Amino acid sequence: MNIELKITLWALACAYAIGNSFIYSWAFWSAFEINILQFASFTDILPSILYTIAIPCIVVSIGIVAADYWEKLKTQAYSIIENEFATRIKYYHDIKYIFLISVSAIGAIVGIIGAVALYKSDKEAASIENYPWGDIIQVAIPFTISVLAFWLITKKTTFLNELKLARRLAIIIICILPVVSYLWGYISSTKIINGRDTFLIQSDGQCKTPTNTKYRYISSISDKVFALSLSDGSICVFKYNSLQLTPEQAANNMKVIPSTNI
């Protein structure tokens, strides 16, 4: 029975990781307004997005282990202080729970708004009309789902019940992963659009354009490369045998050294 339960949990964990990797992919490619499935198959896309989402999954695992470890190392003094507050303040635990959830929600909302505004591709004036409300709503959707999932799991299930007080922290880490995946994909795509830490691409299979047209590297999937034209903002998709990537900032800073006649 325990073996079957562990297999089920591992299957759910893998499915959850794949789901979050698709959230990342959706957030990343939607910035370029293309349907990636028109150019690559499911089996081609999955390895690349799983590789990208591996770090958040590792962070989640470390966070859960750390939460469990923290629970075991909790000192007796903390328990005494908690009991003292509980005896002196009516409904202390309920007040504490509501306060922590409220602070976390406010902090997350402020963080979402700030992150979207910071990495908005076009630098528009900071006015109500020009504020990126559409992007904020897109980020708010996975955030809302995460909050609802957290409430349902903590109130309606016994998931990770053995972690006791650290259970809520572990569940928060798990539930917030869709938001992290979306923000990661959104930030990665806007950094490319804005030319932050990007590469210029040269290849034997480049699109048929004027020779002076420069392309910014987006991603490679299977034998295809996706690049952004710096002249008109179009997306170039082509097959290749070899690639040369040059840091864009370094290429822009390269200058011809004038010759000196002695």
Q: Are residues 10 and 87 in the same domain?
A: yes
Split into its structural domains, the chain has a count of 2
Q: Are residues 188 and 203 in the same domain?
A: no
Of 55, 169, 16, 176, residue with least CA distance to 108 = 176
Predicted pLDDT at 149:
80
Predicted pLDDT at 46:
74
Higher local confidence (pLDDT), 207 or 81: 207
DSSP letter for each residue of 196-211: SS-EEEEETT--S--T
Looking at the chain, the whole-number percentage of residues with pLDDT higher than 90 is 1
Higher local confidence (pLDDT), 231 or 83: 231
Q: Are residues 118 and 152 in the same domain?
A: yes
Helix (H, G, I), strand (E, B) or coil at 244: strand
Of the given ranges (64-68, 174-178, 195-199), which has the lowest mean pLDDT?
64-68
Of the given ranges (11-25, 122-136, 193-207, 246-260), which has the lowest mean pLDDT?
122-136
Of 185, 210, 201, residue with least CA distance to 237 = 201
With respect to residue 55, please indicate whether it lies within any of the assigned structural domains: yes
CATH code at position 214: 2.30.30
Of the given ranges (13-17, 121-125, 179-183), which has the lowest mean pLDDT?
121-125
Helix crossing, 166-175 with 133-156: angle to 10°? Answer: 140
Q: With 80 as the cut, is the pLDDT of residue 90 above it? A: no
Predicted pLDDT at 1:
45
Q: Are residues 115 and 230 in the same domain?
A: no
Q: Which domain holds residue 206?
A: 199-253
Residue range 119-123: average pLDDT? Answer: 51
Strands, DSSP E only, in the chain?
A: 199-203, 215-221, 224-229, 235-239, 243-247
With respect to residue 259, please indicate whether it lies within any of the assigned structural domains: no
With respect to residue 258, please indicate whether it lies within any of the assigned structural domains: no
Q: Are residues 210 and 242 in the same domain?
A: yes
Helix (H, G, I), strand (E, B) or coil at 217: strand
